[in-house]
A = this chain, B = another copy of it.
Amino acid sequence: MHSIKELQAILAQAVKNQQYPAKPAELYEPISYLMDLGGKRMRPVLLLMSCELFDGDIQKALDPAMAIEVFHNFTLMHDDIMDKAPLRRGNPTVHEKWNANTAILSGDVMLVEGYKLLGNLEPELLKPVFKVFNDTAVGVCEGQQFDMNFESLAEVSIDEYLEMIRLKTAVLLGGALKIGALIAGAGDREADLIYSFGENLGIAFQLQDDLLDVYGDPDKFGKQVGGDILSNKKTYLLIKAIELAKGAHAEELNFWLSKTHFEPADKVKAVTRIYNELNIRELAIETMHAFAAKAIDQLNAIPVPEERKKALKEFGEQLLIRES
């Protein structure tokens, strides 16, 4: 079995080895550009770890792991257009560095390149892996659409929010893990358990993201703390605060949500204080822990020797105690 660091090194090399045609440059350069910006490679690492959990050969899983990473980066390229994001991992987004048309078309071919990386699987394996990949891809698109819809909705419930982040973030973690399991030859029940582990871990991961945006250490977070507050983003924290705020709290929260001119620091401070007074942080941590516990339950239920689960447990813990 490999350590997380070793798997990341293997994947870094695989990204380096990826070769795209030289022409048309506008189509392929943005793919290499975005892939080379790095990131934790969390999803392909999970795929390889799941393969090893079930005693599979990660060489067989390397292309499908890259398929998941290329797919994930495709979603970033298109999401960044839709969100009008100027920066991705501290660098100009593709639609900023090139233009929106390039980001659309390069993203399209990137999705196809992701599929192509499944093409070397043996026929009997390609079919079920292809199904998981398709279902995952549809889920991620649905999640992004719900997320965009939430921006203009007056009211979003916690359940709707959790379903959105399940689709947008968690199914891809689950899908990656399930593909790794299938390649290792795991049975249906095991594959479903590791999928469910990933899905629950993914929801916990996103809740941690929401928390970090408000309570992260500014020196370690890497992004502006309070960004979600400034943009009225409907995170778990805001939705819960709207749900719980009464009287003066409700008035003050509405005041800040509807105010269009303000000192950023004032709004972040005021809304954070409301969160604190309503115990939103504790509630979010509690919910996060509940999903993390569900994830661990699924992992525990998988009938493989305990020592083979260590790496995945460690990885899960790292994701939930991270500071950026």
Chain A interface residues toward B at CB < 8 A: 21, 24, 26-27, 78, 81-82, 100-101, 104-105, 107-109, 111-113, 115-116, 118-119, 123-124, 126-127, 130-131, 134, 137-138, 141-142, 144-146, 148-149
Contact = CB atoms under 8 A, between A and B. Distances in A.
Report how many copies the assembly holds: 2
A145 B104 contact: no
B82 A101 contact: yes
A31 to B, nearest CB: 11
Given A104-B78, A104-B82, A134-B119, A109 B27 contact: no
A18 to B, nearest CB: 14
A118 B127 CA distance: 10
A276 B81 CA distance: 45
A145 B112 CA distance: 15
A142 B113 CA distance: 12
Q: Which of A104, A111, A119, A146 has the most CB of B within 10 A?
A: A104
Contact of A148 (B101, B111, B134): B101
A26 B105 CA distance: 21
B149 A26 contact: yes
A64 to B, nearest CB: 13
A24 B81 contact: no
28 contacts: A21-B142, A24-B146, A24-B149, A26-B148, A26-B149, A27-B142, A78-B105, A81-B104, A82-B105, A100-B100, A101-B148, A105-B141, A108-B108, A109-B137, A109-B141, A109-B142, A112-B134, A112-B138, A112-B141, A115-B115, A115-B134, A118-B130, A119-B131, A123-B123, A123-B124, A126-B126, A126-B127, A126-B130
